[in-house]
A and B are shown apart, each in its own frame.
Chain A
């Protein structure tokens, strides 16, 4: 029986945040610090023939203007394919692409000087539509990889024959727009030259070891001379996974060449214009089913607009691909997926990672199938839902921890599905139309077969003389509660008081590489690595205690803060004192390697992941048929996460994800014409505010997963993924029209209503 796991200890990191005392990167400065500002391409595609910095250099406060030819190492950013340059050299391939770095003594001069660098561009034809990029004879957008940056296929069974014998076939095309992360703290870094000739890079980030590698590339110096220090990170959501490598290399090159600390903090405009976003998607999908509701075939095509460079697109695409038919057992499944290059800002990681696009499509189409079958949509989901002993879309047979049916049933009850769905009176007192909608999803936690090589985590744990515990891991706190959850895991496993556990600040020279903080994997992976270390240290302590107490070590029991054997009882602190007396080393390295996955890349079949989080969403809406406005009244968000380590933080993830998903569904419309983002600010890009928030009811299901710490699976991303289709299905229930494009703006809703009239 756990004592700490499942409770809700307070977040220690929040104290300083609430007091305004937490130091984010822009709150730091170093003696002699200079400021960098980027010169960026104003064209989606242009040849660069000359860069003249003379006017900028005339300003007395300007320190340097740096271009591609000044880069000491490789002009490449390592992510997956190493196709993206650090600074554009001969050609610029998207609006906002970095062309030169201006360094000045103060922020304002840097800003002004950046406008004085004169770059001679000759504009070239640009392709900003992914379908045009795919057309035969299209100009090559990405010079390294061509126009299809990545392609994945899954081919299971005989989809064509199954479709031909299906009693009912439904199909549709669904489109989704960009989504901007809109973390409140913009991207920022400070590069500081070190005495030994290396660089220390401070910054807001998710994945310090990605940046570490990138610095080695561009500076051409050994990684051992470089260290990356994460500062308090003001939100990330995937946006600080791959992207920060770019500003980090810019600042590092500037610091290296000028021998001064260099700060580079982006303005909001700059951030929206040129940081990665969620890929716009096009999904064409078709289901074939028997009269009784059994889905026998799914055929899908998935296209992502990747932007000019490949970033993480191959993996984003892969995750979307293997989840594209939904959390159902379907015997015949085929998908063809492409990440396509365009002359627009490169897209990258964003909470959900390729799944929200396909989930909007497949879960909308499930409801259309239900209509055609004359079946209740929740019944239809339950009939086809994954369960123990059944296989996923890619033929992964689920052997444990599958709470899908349970979570669907609980959410159905919590949203009063049967009662609300069959409401006779649909017009509310304010004249709006009521509707309730449902969706379900599954989410392979961790990197799975797509990122097998880095799906491991290291941890270091040591106990100090006073019984306090210090942990080092390389996964990061970015607001999600990482440090609190991992401290709880350490305390539980070690038998220490959770208040006495601290997480070492992230510095790549001091913490192990625990892999990236992505894919909802940190609790699972670092949690297991910490348990490994904690168990070792506990054994060392217990051996000493058993000897001193004169009892067999097997008789020892423990709870946080105490160790006892029968009536004999000592505190954890006393035990630690004994250990120091005995001169034992109270520290250990922990390691965890994700389970192996069997994957066949030929047919796209195998164990895509080792475990899945299962989701069901119920959404209630009120639609104004005359203005097209949608008000979300209530969201019930259910997830089988194996084990809720910290309930309050689990709720925080569920509610935050729901609101981000609601923004994606209804408001967040990043308008881009010919590769140019229009109004890159928070008055053009609308995210939900306090006035828009419905009641959000978390439903937590705990079907333990043996491979996770105390049974836990990942949770970071699932709360966002299936919100949009639940709202779309609720809108259909309310007003009888199906919106097939995100965001579902009032304009789109009125247009669709008009079209059916």
Chain B
């Protein structure tokens, strides 16, 4: 039965959380999405299992080839991590524009993925970085690329009894890390995006060595603009190339109509912000 008022219970380890979830529990992390859903339509579970305080999920682990953002790391916490600031600037730009200060202090990167809204600011930035999701259940662990994990609006590969324990981001080497993030909403802040773009770029000697362009809020899932990425790889960033990239993006997008905007608007503006995002690529000092 769908319940509006569900008791919550705090888990102190992943193991404990997995056990509690098995007893008809649903994961409660930062709560900024699931509690809204609970209040609006209810949730079919006996309890909410709070994983937000589990120490092993609060870590950001750095190794030579990758960085792992723990499943309970908040938007704000990751934003302040030095490696994320230097190597994943688009995540930081997205975090700065994410909802509101209050929400950023609670919402988690993993939760943004689990919610699987195509208008998720954090998830759009993660798309631009080839993120891989770490999952754990009582049966074991598995990893799955973010692009495969998300299946549609609020639909994911997450199985019953499984939780997101971390987000793996491969570290790029041999260049400078640039990024940008642009969102267009009805007002400047605290608005769900009509359309947004996140770009990650590794730049060497003024040329794009590797680039990731993710477009959010235009379609049922976040889009990676691979054609545009291919077009830009190996090129220098200048106005003509950016304009061309914007045009390619516009052609590539199949946008949707919904309450927040129209397909027509999204298609047009997607091109504009892709162009601007490429021209606006920057690093964080």
A positions within 8 Å CB-CB of B: 108, 111-112, 269, 626-629, 666-667, 669, 671, 678-679, 683-684, 686, 688-692, 745-747, 750-751
- B81 contacts the other chain (CB 8 A): no
23 contacts between A and B (CB under 8 A): A108-B4, A112-B4, A269-B40, A627-B184, A627-B273, A628-B269, A666-B187, A667-B186, A669-B186, A671-B259, A679-B259, A683-B191, A683-B192, A686-B191, A689-B187, A689-B188, A689-B190, A691-B189, A691-B190, A692-B188, A692-B189, A747-B264, A751-B265
Instruction: Write the nearest CB–CB distance from A753 to chain B, whole angstroms.
Output: 10
Residues of B within 8 A of A108 (CB): 4-5
Residues of B within 8 A of A684 (CB): 259
**Identity of the chain A residue whose Cβ is nearest the Cβ of B262 in the assembled complex:** A747
- B272 contacts the other chain (CB 8 A): yes
Residues of B within 8 A of A745 (CB): 186
Residues of B within 8 A of A679 (CB): 259
Q: Are A626 and B191 in contact (CB under 8 A)?
A: no
Cα–Cα, bound, A725→B187 (Å)? 19
User: Quick one: which of A108, A269, A626, A666 has the most chain B CB within 10 A?
Assistant: A626
- B19 contacts the other chain (CB 8 A): no
Residues of B within 8 A of A746 (CB): 184, 186, 194, 265, 269
Cα–Cα, bound, A669→B261 (Å)? 11
Instruction: Write the nearest CB–CB distance from B177 to chain A, whole angstroms.
Output: 25
Residues of A within 8 A of B190 (CB): 689, 691
Chain B, interface residues (CB within 8 Å), range: 20 to 34
- B268 contacts the other chain (CB 8 A): yes
Residues of B within 8 A of A627 (CB): 184, 269, 272-273
Residues of A within 8 A of B273 (CB): 627
Mark out the residues of chain B between 187 and 217 whose CB falls within 8 Å of any chain A CB in the assembled complex: 187-192, 194
Given A108-B5, A112-B4, A684-B259, residue A750 in contact with residue B187 (CB < 8 A): no
Given contacts A626-B272, A746-B186, A746-B265, 17 further A-B contacts (CB under 8 A): A108-B4, A111-B4, A627-B269, A627-B272, A628-B265, A628-B269, A667-B186, A671-B259, A679-B259, A686-B185, A686-B191, A688-B187, A691-B189, A692-B187, A692-B188, A747-B265, A751-B265
Residues of A within 8 A of B191 (CB): 683, 686
Picked from B40, B184, B262, the residue with its CB within 8 Å of the CB of A629 is B184
Cα–Cα, bound, A627→B270 (Å)? 9
Residues of A within 8 A of B4 (CB): 108, 111-112
Q: Are B189 and A750 in contact (CB under 8 A)?
A: no
**Identity of the chain B residue whose Cβ is nearest the Cβ of A112 in the assembled complex:** B4
Instruction: Write the nearest CB–CB distance from A246 to chain B, whole angstroms.
Output: 24
Main secondary structure of the interface of B (DSSP, over half): loop
B positions within 8 Å CB-CB of A: 4-5, 40, 184-192, 194, 259, 261-262, 264-265, 268-269, 272-273
Cα–Cα, bound, A678→B257 (Å)? 14
Cα–Cα, bound, A750→B271 (Å)? 14
Instruction: Write the nearest CB–CB distance from A48 to chain B, whole angstroms.
Output: 25
Q: Are B5 and A686 in contact (CB under 8 A)?
A: no
Cα–Cα, bound, A745→B265 (Å)? 11
Residues of A within 8 A of B264 (CB): 747, 751
Cα–Cα, bound, A455→B259 (Å)? 43
Cα–Cα, bound, A683→B184 (Å)? 14
Cα–Cα, bound, A743→B5 (Å)? 37
Q: Are B259 and A750 in contact (CB under 8 A)?
A: no
Cα–Cα, bound, A679→B272 (Å)? 28
Instruction: Write the nearest CB–CB distance from B269 to chain A, whole angstroms.
Output: 5
Q: Are A750 and B265 in contact (CB under 8 A)?
A: yes
Cα–Cα, bound, A108→B5 (Å)? 8
Q: Are B259 and A691 in contact (CB under 8 A)?
A: no
Q: Are A678 and B269 in contact (CB under 8 A)?
A: no
Cα–Cα, bound, A745→B184 (Å)? 12
User: Quick one: which of A108, A628, A688 has the most chain B CB within 10 A?
Assistant: A628
Q: Are B5 and A667 in contact (CB under 8 A)?
A: no
Residues of A within 8 A of B185 (CB): 686
Q: Are A686 and B265 in contact (CB under 8 A)?
A: no
Residues of A within 8 A of B189 (CB): 689-692
Cα–Cα, bound, A689→B259 (Å)? 20
Q: Are A626 and B186 in contact (CB under 8 A)?
A: no
Cα–Cα, bound, A626→B277 (Å)? 14
Given A111-B4, A686-B187, residue A626 in contact with residue B192 (CB < 8 A): no
Residues of B within 8 A of A669 (CB): 186
Residues of A within 8 A of B187 (CB): 666-667, 686, 688-689, 691-692
Instruction: Write the nearest CB–CB distance from B9 to chain A, whole angstroms.
Output: 19
Residues of B within 8 A of A689 (CB): 187-190
Cα–Cα, bound, A108→B4 (Å)? 9
User: Quick one: which of B4, B192, B269 has the most chain A CB within 10 A?
Assistant: B269
Q: Are B268 and A750 in contact (CB under 8 A)?
A: yes
Instruction: Write the nearest CB–CB distance from A421 to chain B, whole angstroms.
Output: 27
Q: Are B259 and A626 in contact (CB under 8 A)?
A: no
Picked from A678, A691, A747, the residue with its CB within 8 Å of the CB of B188 is A691
Instruction: Write the nearest CB–CB distance from A681 to chain B, whole angstroms.
Output: 8
Closest 6 CB pairs of A and B: A691-B188, A691-B189, A686-B186, A626-B272, A747-B265, A627-B269
Cα–Cα, bound, A627→B186 (Å)? 11
Instruction: Write the nearest CB–CB distance from B100 to chain A, whole angstroms.
Output: 8
Cα–Cα, bound, A6→B190 (Å)? 38
Cα–Cα, bound, A111→B273 (Å)? 44
**Identity of the chain A residue whose Cβ is nearest the Cβ of B271 in the assembled complex:** A626
Instruction: Write the nearest CB–CB distance from A679 to chain B, whole angstroms.
Output: 6
Instruction: Write the nearest CB–CB distance from A61 to chain B, whole angstroms.
Output: 13
Instruction: Write the nearest CB–CB distance from A234 to chain B, whole angstroms.
Output: 19
**Identity of the chain B residue whose Cβ is nearest the Cβ of A688 in the assembled complex:** B187
Cα–Cα, bound, A679→B36 (Å)? 13
Cα–Cα, bound, A110→B187 (Å)? 36
Cα–Cα, bound, A671→B258 (Å)? 11
Cα–Cα, bound, A683→B272 (Å)? 25
Instruction: Write the nearest CB–CB distance from A481 to chain B, whole angstroms.
Output: 27
Cα–Cα, bound, A690→B191 (Å)? 12
Instruction: Write the nearest CB–CB distance from B27 to chain A, whole angstroms.
Output: 22
Residues of B within 8 A of A678 (CB): 259
Residues of B within 8 A of A269 (CB): 40
User: Quick one: which of B185, B188, B261 has the most chain A CB within 10 A?
Assistant: B188
Instruction: Write the nearest CB–CB distance from B88 to chain A, whole angstroms.
Output: 24
Residues of B within 8 A of A686 (CB): 185-187, 191
Instruction: Write the nearest CB–CB distance from A662 to chain B, whole angstroms.
Output: 10
Cα–Cα, bound, A691→B191 (Å)? 11
Cα–Cα, bound, A747→B5 (Å)? 39
